[in-house]
Amino acid sequence: MRVLMIGDIVGDAGRSALQDHLPRLKRTHRPDVILVNGENAADGRGITRTIAREFFGSGVDCITLGNHAWDRREIFDFIDDEPRLVRPANYPEGTPGNGFARLALPNGELTVINLMGRTFLSTLDCPFRKADELLAEVKGPVLIDFHGETTSEKQALAWYLDGRVSAVIGTHTHVQTADERILPGGTAFLSDVGMTGPYDAVLGMEKELVIKRFLTQLPVRFEVGEGRTQLNGVLLELDPSSGGARSIKRIRIDDDEPWFE
Amino acid sequence: MRVLMIGDIVGDAGRSALQDHLPRLKRTHRPDVILVNGENAADGRGITRTIAREFFGSGVDCITLGNHAWDRREIFDFIDDEPRLVRPANYPEGTPGNGFARLALPNGELTVINLMGRTFLSTLDCPFRKADELLAEVKGPVLIDFHGETTSEKQALAWYLDGRVSAVIGTHTHVQTADERILPGGTAFLSDVGMTGPYDAVLGMEKELVIKRFLTQLPVRFEVGEGRTQLNGVLLELDPSSGGARSIKRIRIDDDEPWFE
Amino acid sequence: MRVLMIGDIVGDAGRSALQDHLPRLKRTHRPDVILVNGENAADGRGITRTIAREFFGSGVDCITLGNHAWDRREIFDFIDDEPRLVRPANYPEGTPGNGFARLALPNGELTVINLMGRTFLSTLDCPFRKADELLAEVKGPVLIDFHGETTSEKQALAWYLDGRVSAVIGTHTHVQTADERILPGGTAFLSDVGMTGPYDAVLGMEKELVIKRFLTQLPVRFEVGEGRTQLNGVLLELDPSSGGARSIKRIRIDDDEPWFE
Amino acid sequence: MRVLMIGDIVGDAGRSALQDHLPRLKRTHRPDVILVNGENAADGRGITRTIAREFFGSGVDCITLGNHAWDRREIFDFIDDEPRLVRPANYPEGTPGNGFARLALPNGELTVINLMGRTFLSTLDCPFRKADELLAEVKGPVLIDFHGETTSEKQALAWYLDGRVSAVIGTHTHVQTADERILPGGTAFLSDVGMTGPYDAVLGMEKELVIKRFLTQLPVRFEVGEGRTQLNGVLLELDPSSGGARSIKRIRIDDDEPWFE
Ligand SMILES: [Fe+2]
Ligand SMILES: [Fe+2]
Ligand SMILES: [Fe+2]
Ligand SMILES: [Fe+2]
Ligand SMILES: [Fe+2]
Ligand SMILES: [Fe+2]
Ligand SMILES: [Fe+2]
Ligand SMILES: [Fe+2]
């Protein structure tokens, strides 16, 4: 089972970059399933129904989210109708939407779970225990998008779940890490998959604005950056029966790393 | 000017990994200068005089630090005597030690500055303005070890200094990022160089203990992990006259990426 | 039902202040039950078995705790044997000790619950939902010691529970607030009851050391302050059948407010 | 020199409460100077030119601010023209507006300085050092509005400045503290003066909305509360020549403490 996961799509630039590269990524890697993190798809903050449909129309099978899930209030109007749009599962009981999706694929079922870290983020339910709870009811390959700020929380969760899930792939920092590996128990891990969108920007946002906020400590409204783009993702090969990971490979496409193999 | 910088050395395991790989790294890459971040060298917390001497004795030219600089109180006894041991420059005026070092090399002088981010870390002086202040008095190649938690602060500082320093290399997260590049103005950038030490651990610390703290939220004393090790670094080629970066190359050595080129 | 609650006892100085004033407080107010917060009783950090016994020996009926509960590791040896020593109830399941105590009094039973806020503190279970859960099984008067950093979380919990508990009394900031009131539903509220211990200090700790840490941002080991002391508490009159609060009165004793009536 | 300082005025309700009580406060206490914190005056976030004029028209001599100073963008249009509107002085150099005001009174000059804490707030310049710097150039009575989150930072600054300023009065938590005192060196201190505005609310904001945010961890837009109001302030008597504090007295007006003497 070949899984292509693409990191936080930021604004128009990110969606363009996805459209630019997705056909070739499909041809080259022939993924069985395509996942994207969409929490920043609408001008950098949240996602709309139109954008979600655009992603699904392009061949995306599942959209995960994160702390920015709720930035566009219209999400409350459609998240309950869209089982392939997944918000962090460790929001408290009663939160709209689903925390995981079961994707039926030709060669089996893949469960995609979204969890969010708590360090320097929201005070949600414990992601470790929420994973235990969800995994008690799931069979087959499981991929976790762990949306978190700190490397310690991400590594800790991956080790905690090693041998129990196919992969723990981090999102949220918007920077791809170079620590891809398969843990001894068979779980693929990458601290962060990185983002997709403006390349000459700060996490996808106009760099002058971000610098201004750091310098002045005054409120500055961020805008999505312009110009050159990047795409960051990861390609996983999972054993459809055991759920174990066979391989993990980072994907980075930008002007400094123009293509890959 | 070839610069080899090696990320946060964690405990005995990290120091062993350094000793294991440094001779071969020297032979292969023939660096003009070797830098290490040593804030975790003494059992994961701080550094001692003996360890600093050990590093210098192995061919290290300069040791940078970070938020853990002061964990071993003996540092206050020797930091003022060791110009090649550098703590974050944006600690307030009057802080013991130096915030930068000037290293005389065969082909010119390299200035190494240590700065620390403020987001989710200590409330120090502004690292952007401190950089401006230090750069006003420096000529030639400059490398900044920017010790910080968030990718936004690291990217913002790198863009802010693009064209004014040779390189901004992040430390502190203990996970190497895959975003190495040379910015348009000629500054090499990597969000985080990663750590050197235990490989089957959480940021170098015994993984069961870190998991326990996340699960219980109780105080747990961390210990440096055991077993297999990793080394993470970066290799830079700088123009000794202009100070511009010619190339940046990540180095990762562990059992999953056993050697490199 | 008359309840006397005394805020965070800090170190030897706090315990002396308690011994100095408790006899007179008993004579004057004739409380049916005496509660103290003991998280800082052992040199400012945690509590020992000996100190807990000392409190009980002086007439204290119940000791509540907070984020410093675990600072003295010996607590793990005795907390499970002492039903009148209460740690925050919203620590995750499996945490040693009890989150509440049921105190049999001549005129009925008082339930004392300890909860901890999450803003700028530990990432525990939701204190609002934990309160709901505990209250579902309790009858009669209930007092909550809500150990929290921010005024917003404390006020929000008090309003959330108004009419369902007898009192929500805050601890942790070590400064008594002047906002005592009975909410419309009958719940007595005080954002923080304040501390008991050194008066010429910062939260009970030697002031020069705290100032030094703010100025230098370096690690400084705090010590409990010396000299003059203060005691801060609150006196509540509860209806033993309805559980509603009839009155709430702050107690502050120090050299600037030497006695009270 | 009699100083009346009134805490964070929240929205329309806060401004009404001020108008309701100010005439009587003037008659009763005959203050030489009236200060208000106005950071929440415009619907709970920021201040407008119209509101600032309204305050000055009512007899207010100086308006201090805090972290919400900039919430209404129009402040950038008028803050430089209004010397009696003071924002935290430890914003970085180049920030619009003034960090202090010199008020000429019949019996001498009063300097009002606004500073902001850094713990759990913005990463500004060090408030301790900024105070030193400003005090080097000031003679006569000085009052500091120290806008901060934590009691430790507020107490530490007060002790640091004891004997060098007339008063350190905290703002920001919106809850009045009961720790008013004159420190040994002659500086009056109160950790927080409290707020002015809705009484049946959470820090002045509609309580159901704040509770909803705590329960759901979802974005909730806060609105200023309605109904009954409160006013909180402090009355100081300063020696106009030495600058030392002669007395400090809290003022709390609400339905539970309907008037005072
Ligand atoms: Fe994102
Ligand atoms: Fe995010
Ligand atoms: Fe480190
Ligand atoms: Fe660090
Ligand atoms: Fe305490
Ligand atoms: Fe506490
Ligand atoms: Fe305020
Ligand atoms: Fe504020």
Which tens digits make up the pLDDT trace of D191-214?
999 999 999 999 999 999 999 999
Task: With CB atoms and an 8 Å threshold, state whether C149 touches D150.
Answer: yes
Residue of B nearest to C216 (CA): B92
Q: How confident is the model over A214-247, as pLDDT tens digits?
A: 999 999 999 999 999 999 999 999 999 999 999 9
Cα gap B38→B17, rounded to integer Å: 13
Which of C67, C73, C213, C218 to probe by mutation at the B interface, max B CB count within 10 Å? C218
| pLDDT at residue number A261 | 47
Residue type, C138: V
Catalytic residue among A21, A29, A68, A174: A68
Return mean pLDDT, chain B: 97
Cα gap C44→C14, rounded to integer Å: 9
Judging contacts by C-beta atoms under 8 Å, the chain B residues touching residue C217 are 91-92, 122-124
Mean pLDDT of the D171-176 span: 98
Judging contacts by C-beta atoms under 8 Å, the chain B residues touching residue D126 are 92, 123, 125
Return mean pLDDT, chain A: 97
Residue D33 in contact with residue D110, Cβ under 8 Å?
yes
Residue C157 in contact with residue C151, Cβ under 8 Å?
no
- Answer whether residue C233 shows pLDDT above 90: yes
| Domain definitions of chain D by residue range | 2-253
Partner A contacted by D92 (CB < 8 A)? yes
The candidate with the shortest Cα–Cα distance to B192, out of B166, B168, B217, is B168
Residue D189 in contact with residue D145, Cβ under 8 Å?
no
**Structure tokens of B113?**
């500055």
Contacts of A89 (CB under 8 A, 6+ apart): A98, A99, A100, A113, A114, A115, A130, A134
- Answer whether residue B142 shows pLDDT above 90: yes
Q: Indicate which ligand has the atom closest to the C-alpha of C40.
A: 5
Q: Which of D91, D216, D217 sits opposite A217 (nearest CB)?
A: D91
**Structure tokens of B227?**
């077993």
- Cβ-in-10-Å burial (0-12, 13-18, 19+) of C45 comes to middle
Separation in Å, CA of A92 to nearest CA in chain C: 9
Q: Indicate which ligand has the atom closest to the C-alpha of B116.
A: 4
DSSP assigned state of D182: E
Cα gap B113→A91, rounded to integer Å: 42
CA torsion sign, D144 to D147 to D151 to D152?
negative
Task: With CB atoms and an 8 Å threshold, state whether B123 touches D125.
Answer: no
- Please state, for a pLDDT cut of 70, what percent of chain D lies above it: 99
Partner A contacted by B160 (CB < 8 A)? yes
**Structure tokens of D30?**
């005959």
Helix (H, G, I), strand (E, B) or coil at A14: helix
Q: How confident is the model over A127-149, as pLDDT tens digits?
A: 999 999 999 999 999 999 999 99
CA distances from B224 to B89, B152, B211, B254 (A): 28, 29, 14, 17
Cα gap C238→C142, rounded to integer Å: 9
CA angle A83, A89, A94 (to 5 degrees): 85
Contacts of B24 (CB under 8 A, 6+ apart): none
| D100 CA distance to ligand 7 middle (Å) | 18
CA distances from D151 to C214, D148, D185 (A): 13, 8, 20
Query: Other CB atoms closer than 10 Å to residue D187's CB: what's the count?
Result: 26
Residue of A nearest to C119 (CA): A123
Residue with more model confidence, B260 or D112: D112
Task: With CB atoms and an 8 Å threshold, state whether B118 touches D123.
Answer: yes
Q: Give the count of alpha carbons within 13 A of D4, CB side only.
A: 22
Most distant CA atoms of chain D, gap in Å: 55
Judging contacts by C-beta atoms under 8 Å, the chain C residues touching residue D220 are none
Judging contacts by C-beta atoms under 8 Å, the chain B residues touching residue D119 are 123
- Answer whether residue D258 shows pLDDT above 90: no
CA distances from B98 to B45, B65, B115, C43 (A): 19, 11, 11, 35
- Answer whether residue A125 shows pLDDT above 90: yes
| pLDDT at residue number A258 | 87
Cα gap B169→B245, rounded to integer Å: 12
Residue with tokens 């507020």: D154
Task: With CB atoms and an 8 Å threshold, state whether C92 touches B216.
Answer: yes
Helix (H, G, I), strand (E, B) or coil at D190: strand
DSSP assigned state of A134: H
Give the pLDDT band (50/70/90) at residue A259: confident
Task: With CB atoms and an 8 Å threshold, state whether A156 touches B202.
Answer: yes
Q: How confident is the model over D52-106, as pLDDT tens digits?
A: 999 999 999 999 999 999 999 999 999 999 999 999 999 999 999 999 999 999 8
Partner A contacted by B133 (CB < 8 A)? no
Task: With CB atoms and an 8 Å threshold, state whether A217 touches D71.
Answer: no
Mean pLDDT of the C189-207 span: 98
The residues of B carrying an active-site annotation are: 68
Query: Other CB atoms closer than 10 Å to residue C110's CB: what's the count?
Result: 25
CA distances from D202 to C196, D39, D213 (A): 27, 16, 12
Q: How confident is the model over B28-40, as pLDDT tens digits?
A: 999 999 999 999 9
Residue of A nearest to C92 (CA): A126
Separation in Å, CA of A125 to nearest CA in chain C: 6
Task: With CB atoms and an 8 Å threshold, state whether B92 touches C124.
Answer: no
Partner D contacted by B129 (CB < 8 A)? yes
Partner C contacted by A211 (CB < 8 A)? no
Q: Which of B92, B215, B217 sits opposite C215 (nearest CB)?
A: B92
Task: With CB atoms and an 8 Å threshold, state whether C191 touches D175.
Answer: yes
Partner A contacted by D120 (CB < 8 A)? no
Task: With CB atoms and an 8 Å threshold, state whether C217 touches B71.
Answer: no
Name the CATH code of domain A2-253 (choices 2.60.120.560, 2.60.120.260, 3.30.70.270, 3.60.21.10): 3.60.21.10
Task: With CB atoms and an 8 Å threshold, state whether D178 touches C194.
Answer: yes
Give the pLDDT band (50/70/90) at residue A175: very high
- Answer whether residue C260 shows pLDDT above 70: no
Query: Other CB atoms closer than 10 Å to residue B23's CB: what's the count?
Result: 11
Residue of B nearest to C94 (CA): B216
Contacts of C125 (CB under 8 A, 6+ apart): A125, A126, C90, C91, C92
- Answer whether residue D260 shows pLDDT above 60: no
Partner D contacted by C166 (CB < 8 A)? no
Task: With CB atoms and an 8 Å threshold, state whether C122 touches B216.
Answer: no
Separation in Å, CA of A243 to nearest CA in chain C: 30
Residue D141 in contact with residue D34, Cβ under 8 Å?
no
Which pTM was predicted?
A: 0.97
| pLDDT at residue number D72 | 98
Cα gap C176→C6, rounded to integer Å: 11
CA distances from B116 to A63, A225, D118 (A): 35, 26, 16
Contacts of B163 (CB under 8 A, 6+ apart): B183, B184, B185, B186, B187
| B202 CA distance to ligand 3 middle (Å) | 12
Task: With CB atoms and an 8 Å threshold, state whether C95 touches B216.
Answer: yes
| pLDDT at residue number A122 | 93
| C191 CA distance to ligand 7 middle (Å) | 16
Active site residue A147: no
B2-6 and D62-64 beta bridge pairing = unpaired
Cα gap C80→D180, rounded to integer Å: 40
User: For chain D, which chains pass the contact test of at least 3 CB pairs under 8 Å?
Assistant: A, B, C
Residue D25 in contact with residue D4, Cβ under 8 Å?
yes
Mean pLDDT of the D218-243 span: 97
| D157 CA distance to ligand 6 middle (Å) | 20
Separation in Å, CA of B61 to nearest CA in chain D: 33
| pLDDT at residue number B261 | 47
- Please state, for a pLDDT cut of 70, what percent of chain A lies above it: 99
Q: Which of A119, A123, A129 sits opposite C118 (nearest CB)?
A: A123
**Cα dihedral C151, C154, C155, C159 in deg (nearest 10):** 170
ipTM, interface predicted TM-score of the complex? 0.96
Query: Which region holds residue C83: left if phi is over 0, alpha if psi is between -120 and 50, else beta?
Result: alpha
Q: Which of D120, D153, D178 sits opposite C177 (nearest CB)?
A: D178
Separation in Å, CA of A132 to nearest CA in chain C: 14
Helix (H), strand (E) at residue B231: strand B229-238
Cα gap D192→A22, rounded to integer Å: 57
Distance of CA C2 to the CA centre of its chain: 16
What residues of chain B, 220 to 249, have a C-beta less than 8 Å from chain C? Answer: none
